[in-house]
Structure 1
Amino acid sequence: MRINGTDYVPRVKYTEEADKAYYVLTVDELNVVINLTMTVKKNTLDFEVTKVGRKWYSKNTYH
């Protein structure tokens, strides 16, 4: 992904249920975590950024 003109390769976690897919993208270099939800309804993809936060120093915790 490109943020402010710089390319990063995030770590990605993925889960799904029915017609939704959930992604957690972690950009370690920036200490940033981005949550995304993708939903498909009637051949339409809804791409929603549900949270952007700073990663804390404890493992898998962010705000």
Structure 2
Amino acid sequence: MKLYRLLTAPDDASFCHKVTAALNNGWELYGSPTYAFNAATGIMQCGQAVTKTVEGKDYHPDIKLGEQ
């Protein structure tokens, strides 16, 4: 099965750590990162899509994507 996640975080080291952790757990970057201003918080937000292929499992809506 192919899994998809959109990682988001404030524009600080926590975002880089989140993406780095995903890459080290077998996820691959998908597309370009995104960057936007959150007017409600006054903080710039980053986003990066990642995908991962997991063999031998079937998708179901209850799956915990971050645990794969």
Q: Normalising by structure 1, what TM-score?
A: 0.31
Higher relative contact order (CA 8 A, sep 6+): 2
- The answer to which structure has the higher strand fraction is 1
- The answer to which structure has the higher helix fraction is 2
